[in-house]
Amino acid sequence: MLGDVRVGAVGLGTMPLSIEGRPDGARAVATVHAALDAGVTLLDTADSYYPPGGEPGEGERLVARALASYGGRTDGVLVATKGGRGRTADGGWTVDGRPAHLRRAAEASARRLGGGAIGLYQLHKPDPDVPYAESLGAVRELLDAGTVRLAGVSNVDAGQILLAREVLGDRLVSVQNRYSPAVRDSGAELRLCADLGLAFLPWSPLGGISRSSLDGASALEEDPEFGAFHRVARARGTSPQRVALAWLLSLSETVLPIPGASRPETARDSAAAAGLVLTEEELEELEELEELEESAGAGARG
């Protein structure tokens, strides 16, 4: 649940479809359509998802085109976008949390997405040069004005989540932080979201899992550090990516992964993780990996 809106257990992150290295437009739209066909009802984008030298909002325009050209129903699809970041000419990323900028950015995002209220608007990253409460105040104004329906925050710590809850109240419905088999430093934030009933959207949720051609186990390039995910995948006859997403879903009822995809096959494979329930034995094997990582980290710190 995102507030009072029910969405599928796995979303689609559209960043790979919008920035440098993106597929051509036809394949990008086909990838979104494949996700929708597979039951995905949350599409995540941002106004900063565009290649260097491009125009802000390319990812949002892609989502709008894909929805407009989809042959099925889209009334149950929630589009989430983000504001507060930009790109530099050399491919870097900027942060701008000034209230005036956020208001303009949200209004522009709403126009690109079709002119109605934005389903979920997320403050992309705290700006170190702007008090976070001021940036959150701008989001509250957008909620009050009806420019956005629901609000979220991203790349935040526990204290910032609590501040966002104080400023936005129950209209704060989600937190989007990086979390994956390889990056697990938002555990405290994940647990806080579970306590508060906020959706936790792991971005880059497949970090650490080797890429797969999805043509069978023989095509997998296994990373020994995360071999448990590959072993479980081989035993199940599925992909390690699907296992990683199922593992994330097992961590909390509020976890909602948003894996990216650049072709229809990977979008369908990720969506299928919603139907993969790992056994206690499989989860224990994956948890043993985490315990080994923590022990190795403690040894290095010692």
Distance separating alpha carbons of residues 159 and 157, to the nearest angstrom:
6
Question: How many whole angstroms separate alpha carbon 99 and alpha carbon 138?
Answer: 5
- Tell me how far apart the alpha carbons of residues 98 and 163 are, in angstroms, rounded to a whole number: 17
Distance CA 163, CA 175 (A): 12
Active-site residue list: 49
Q: For residues 45 and 85, what is the distance between their CA atoms, to the nearest angstrom? A: 12
Nearest alpha-carbon partner for 179 in 83, 250, 95, 76? 250
Q: How far apart are CA 45 and CA 264, in angstroms?
A: 17
Rounded Cα–Cα distance for residues 258 and 40 (Å): 10
Pair 173, 199: CB distance under 8 Å? yes
Q: How would you class 6 by CB atoms within 10 Å of its CB: exposed for 0-12, middle for 13-18, buried for 19 or more? A: exposed
